[in-house]
């Protein structure tokens, strides 16, 4: 039997929140142990229940980003995921800076939400693809990615690590990368840890940004 992930859901729209709770509880590997409607309740529930994961709405009273910052500073072991209608790139960047591991738009279907949350619980990072693409384009235009790391990638990474990084850049999860490269998912996770350490980045999104620049450099050669 798979491990059960304990989840807290925070959203100030009761009908929507109940729908998310029902969807998650219908999955055998999720157990929603608490729910609330504002930032204060989010921090309180995390302190009391110490869940595996907390789902936060960006625009709820008190602010989802602010709640994420408080939760991460005190309970870094809790995985933070934003589930919101906000498509603002500023909100996405602020969420990532607050160490959120996921940024999901509310238009997502129930089965897709379960798949994404399960993916995040397994160690992946997720951003709604359209928003991730916008961030990649913006990063490319502003040259905000670590250019030195990009230029030195041939020396920094092994051929296998480079292969995995390129697959990460097109949005594949660890499981999907494992299937494409004929490796175990555990081995891919090990490679990802090494890659992020070598690139001196905190998460998969930052690694994907560098991979995007790498592919652009390759095309220009």
Read off the pLDDT band of 13 (50, 70, 90): very high
Query: Going from the N-terminus, what domains does the chain have, and what CATH number goes with each?
Result: 5-127 (3.40.50.2300), 135-220 (3.40.50.2300)
- Using one digit for the tens of pLDDT, what is the confidence trace for 111-130? 999 999 998 898 878 887 76
Using alpha carbons, select from 68, 145, 144 the residue that is nearest to residue 101: 68
* 181 has pLDDT over 80: yes
In this predicted model, which residue has the larger pLDDT, 159 or 18? Answer: 18
* 193 has pLDDT over 80: yes
What mean pLDDT value characterizes the chain? Answer: 83
**pTM of the complete model:** 0.67
SS3 of 101, please? coil
3-state secondary structure 8-63: EEECCCHHHHHHHHHHHHCCCCEEEEEEECCHHHHHHHHHHHCCCEEEECCCCCCC
What is the structure's pLDDT at 162?
A: 83
Mean pLDDT of 75-79: 92
- Is 123 exposed, middle or buried (CB count within 10 Å of its CB: 0-12, 13-18, 19+)? middle
Using alpha carbons, select from 39, 159, 20 the residue that is nearest to residue 83: 20
Q: Is the dihedral of CA 210, 215, 216, 218 positive or negative?
A: positive
Mean pLDDT of 133-144: 52
Among 56-60, 149-153, 175-179, which is the least confidently predicted range? 149-153
Read off the pLDDT band of 198 (50, 70, 90): confident
What is the structure's pLDDT at 128?
A: 77
């Amino acid at each position: 039997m798979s491990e059960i992930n304990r989840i807290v859901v925070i959203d100030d729209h009761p009908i929507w929140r109940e729908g998310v709770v029902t969807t998650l509880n219908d999955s055998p590997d999720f157990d929603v142990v608490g729910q609330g409607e504002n930032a204060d309740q989010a921090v309180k529930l995390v302190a009391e229940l110490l869940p595996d994961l907390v789902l936060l709405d960006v625009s709820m009273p008190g602010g989802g980003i602010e709640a994420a910052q408080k939760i991460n500073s005190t309970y870094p072991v809790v995985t933070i995921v934003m589930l919101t209608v906000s498509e603002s790139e500023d909100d996405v960047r602020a969420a990532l800076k607050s160490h959120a591991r996921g940024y999901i738009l509310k238009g997502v279907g129930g089965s897709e939400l379960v798949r994404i949350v399960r993916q995040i619980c397994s160690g992946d990072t997720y951003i709604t693809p359209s928003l991730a693409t916008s961030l990649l384009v913006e990063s490319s235009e502003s040259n905000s990615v670590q250019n030195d790391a990009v230029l030195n990638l041939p020396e920094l990474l092994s051929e296998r690590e480079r292969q995995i990084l390129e697959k990460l850049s097109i949005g594949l999860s660890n499981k999907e990368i494992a299937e494409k490269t004929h490796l175990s998912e555990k081995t891919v996770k090990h490679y990802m840890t090494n890659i992020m350490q070598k690139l001196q980045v905190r998460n998969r999104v930052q690694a994907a940004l560098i991979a995007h620049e790498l592919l652009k450099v390759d095309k220009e050669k």
